[in-house]
Structure 1
């Protein structure tokens, strides 16, 4: 899969788990500042175009850094509810599983989504995969999702750098997803405007 520029704008942005625990402090993904900058830019451009913006928020188990109602669980980016933005809490990697995400997208008339956030090989990939399975056009900006390094397993494999894990996670979506080189290449439109 070769990264490319999407031919058409998308009418929704799904921001996956950009929560304080994952982008600040000792538990932050590598290059968290870059990720936050890219996701903030995507959100701002989606808002200006009238695209739907949905923030997913992972509910981690008790004791986890993203346990509900702890500082690490809080969303990093401000949510503009007056613009119709939603926050959807989720108990699983897949943002569609046992959540209203599918209904929110369908009710808005969304046909194409950009998916960004953390973690690349878990929640970002699972949400993008289900969006593909549901018939949405899916764009994954390569520099707007991130994860942690995959630790070494003695006698099995060496550690895998986070950047490699992210690249493989996007590549594993197959040729049905559009993987862009840069978040700046993604363009937006309002649902129903095309």
Structure 2
């Protein structure tokens, strides 16, 4: 096994058009995430599947179809699945212990939502000392509203990826990553 892990953050049914909180471009992002996952499996990298649950919440209800990982990125037999209740995939989960146990030094992040759980996870991984790569076209988000202003998903995503690229590791495309 290598010292790299792919963290697949919250690619759950809730974010698909049939879910309760659909994201712009989720199908394309998941297809790219699946390519990254397949490459990681072929190279012996650890693939960690992360799923969000909100007990008592209106979405990601434990046991619901929306909280299930989408079939496009279904975990392989034996792959770890981490359940979290906060945007940061490291907070109050066994993720850090798992990565330490496996000797991971580098994480590659794909998933949803760019501006929330991907952001929190990338920043935490970087703060914990991991070399961090975010695959920008394997992540998705949605339009955001603030103070009467709607920011389109493409702009939310671009702003977030620019922020991560400035201080929290490499941000590249799926094709560029797989070409290495």
1:95–1:101 Cα contact (<8 Å) kept: yes
State the partner residue of 1:4.
none
Q: Structure 2 vs 1, CA of residues 13 and 95 (structure 1 numbering), >3 Å: closer, same or farther? A: same
1:122-149: CA deviations, max 9, x gaps? 1101011010011100001111111110
Segments of 5+ residues of structure 2 without an aligned counterpart are: none
Q: Highest CA radius of gyration, 1 or 2?
A: 1
Q: Structure 2 vs 1, CA of residues 187 and 105 (structure 1 numbering), >3 Å: closer, same or farther? A: farther
2:10–2:111 Cα contact (<8 Å) kept: yes
Q: 1:96 aligns with which of 90, 95, 98?
A: 90
With CA pairs under 8 Å and 6+ residues apart, which has the higher RCO, 1 or 2?
1
RMSD over equivalenced CA pairs, Å: 2.0
State the partner residue of 1:17.
10
State the number of aligned residues.
Answer: 175
| SS across alignment from 2:60 | coil
| SS across alignment from 2:59 | coil
* In the alignment, structure 1 residue 119 sits paired with structure 2 residue 113: yes
Between Structure 1 and Structure 2, which shows a larger proportion of strand residues?
2
1:10–1:188 Cα contact (<8 Å) kept: no
State the partner residue of 1:66.
60
CA distance in 2, matches of 1:188, 1:50: 17
TM-score calculated relative to the size of structure 2: 0.90
Q: 1:169 aligns with which of 150, 160, 170?
A: 160
Segments of 5+ residues of structure 1 without an aligned counterpart are: 1-8, 190-194
CA distance in 1, matches of 2:83, 2:59: 15
